[in-house]
Structure 1
Amino acid sequence: MSITLTERAAAQVAKQLEKRGQGLGLRLGVKKAGCTGFTYVVDYAEEIGPDDAVFEQHGVKLLVRQADLPYLSGVEVDYRREGLNEAFRFHNPNVKATCGCGESFAV
């Protein structure tokens, strides 16, 4: 199982961690939400828990709880700026359907 962090995403995480002055990396997870089933949850990781899988790329750590790995295995996390909008983007090969607004997905 692997999760990929693009160089752009890693640079953004490193920039934000430096700005915050604390944190180990980025935490990625899923939660039940939306009309399709799941949504991504992104936060700063302050510590590595006993049930965390740690992926490190481009000098940045990405932490995922073991329970979320089946939904996130193979995901590529990118960071894009489009006009005035900028956000993390997820390319998830496990997704079978998304809702019309793009906020949730099904696996």
Structure 2
Amino acid sequence: MIQITPAASDRMRAFLARSPGAAGVRFAVKRMGCSGFGYVVDLAGDIAEDDRVLDIDGIRVVVDPKSLPLVDGTLIDFQRQGLNASFVFHNPNATGECGCGESFTVA
């Protein structure tokens, strides 16, 4: 199960309010960075037949079947530090992260 903090929920709701045609928020991973996988949070334009759709705090979170085992149990937060603002991921499946925190590895 994926969890979302109130700060991340507020940020996702703001994105969805500006894009009423979006099917929800897509949460996925893709190969990138120096450690292997990077997180992707974006508006879901459509939902594939094999996507998993989760209702988390009233937000439709769409996860593809390849990403789900890698993000299951993740807590998504949203943090502001000075002029920077970003989603932060606490993933129990990650066995390592790159120095900049942009990518992660799994066993």
TM superposition score normalised by structure 1: 0.91
How far apart, in 1, do the equivalents of 2:82 and 2:71 lie? 28
Aligned length: 106
Counterpart in 2 of 1:72? Answer: 71
How far apart, in 1, do the equivalents of 2:84 and 2:95 lie? 26
Counterpart in 1 of 2:88? Answer: 89
Cα deviation per residue 1:31-61 (whole Å; 9 max; x = unaligned)? 1111111111121012221111111122111
Moved more, 14-23 or 80-89: 14-23
Q: In structure 1, list runs of 5 or more residues that go unmatched.
A: none
Equivalent position amino acid for 2:25 in 1 = L
How far apart, in 1, do the equivalents of 2:17 and 2:100 lie? 33
**1:22 Cα offset (Å):** 2.5
RMSD: 1.2
TM superposition score normalised by structure 2: 0.91
SS of aligned partner of 1:66:
coil
**1:26 Cα offset (Å):** 0.9
Counterpart in 2 of 1:59? Answer: 58
**1:21 Cα offset (Å):** 3.3
